[in-house]
Every structure is written in structure tokens, then in C-alpha cells.
């Protein structure tokens, strides 16, 4: 199974797909994929900021690494381990997500 995370020196990269202009904000992990929905429109970087705000309570401080103008994005989560990110993803798997 492909995992959407990869370790790097000092942190972890997390890749996922974003749906902007959704009815509500949500973060889910299922079938080896992270899916993020934000209610903001993808105009002026608002959706990107909403994505980072949604991820912060789960993963801590993160920054957009790639995909600024794409639905497929990668964030860099500083000062964390691969195991910590995988544990957070597993916690999202069981229920309704966020």
C-alpha cells in the first residue's frame, strides 16, 4: 500500500488531495489516501490557508511544500517523526475524520 508520507531530515512530508469550496471542512484518511475538504474558495490563497489551519491541530506546524495552485498538495511538517504522523493518520482512519 502506498503511504502519503515520507520522512526527511527534521520532519515529514505529507501528500494529499484537496477539494475546495466544499460544504464543510474535513480531514480524512482512508484507503491509504489523505483527503482534505475546505469550505473556502481557491482564490487569493484562502483555500491553502484553510488547509494549513485544518492540519495544524492534528500534525502541528506545517508549511506548503508543493501544490500552491493545484488540488494535489504536499506539506512539510517540522520537528516530527514518521511514526508520529502515521499514528495521527491512523487516529483519523477509524471514525469520521475531522
> What is the structure's pLDDT at 93?
81
User: Residue 43's domain is classified under what CATH number?
Assistant: 3.30.1200.10
> What is the structure's pLDDT at 11?
96
SS3 53: helix
Number of domains into which the chain is organized: 1
Per-residue pLDDT of the chain (98 residues; tens, 9 = 90+): 467 999 999 999 999 999 999 999 999 998 889 999 999 999 999 999 999 999 999 999 999 999 999 999 999 999 999 999 999 999 988 655 55
> What is the structure's pLDDT at 75?
98
Tell me, yes or no, if the pTM score tops 0.75. yes
> What is the structure's pLDDT at 97?
55
CA distance 66 to 55: 15
> What is the structure's pLDDT at 34?
92
Which residues constitute the domain of residue 37?
A: 5-94
Q: What distances in angstroms separate CA 71 from CA 32, 74, 81, one per listed residue?
A: 17, 10, 25
CA distance 39 to 48: 11
Q: Which residues, including other chains, have CB under 8 Å from residue 86's CB and lie 6 or more apart?
A: 3, 5
Helix, strand, coil percentages (3-state) for the chain, rounded to 5, are 30, 35, 35
How many other CB atoms sit within 10 Å of the CB of residue 97?
Answer: 17
Amino acid at each position: 500500500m502506498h503511504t502519503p508520507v515520507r520522512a526527511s531530515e527534521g520532519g515529514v512530508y505529507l501528500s494529499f488531495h484537496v477539494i475546495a469550496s466544499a460544504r464543510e471542512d474535513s480531514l480524512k484518511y482512508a484507503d491509504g489516501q489523505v483527503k482534505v475538504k475546505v469550505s473556502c474558495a481557491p482564490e487569493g490563497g484562502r483555500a491553502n490557508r484553510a488547509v494549513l489551519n485544518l492540519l495544524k491541530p492534528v500534525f502541528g506546524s506545517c508549511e506548503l511544500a508543493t501544490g500552491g495552485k493545484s488540488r494535489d498538495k504536499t506539506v512539510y511538517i517540522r520537528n516530527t517523526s514518521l511514526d508520529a504522523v502515521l499514528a495521527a493518520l491512523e487516529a483519523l482512519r477509524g471514525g469520521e475524520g475531522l
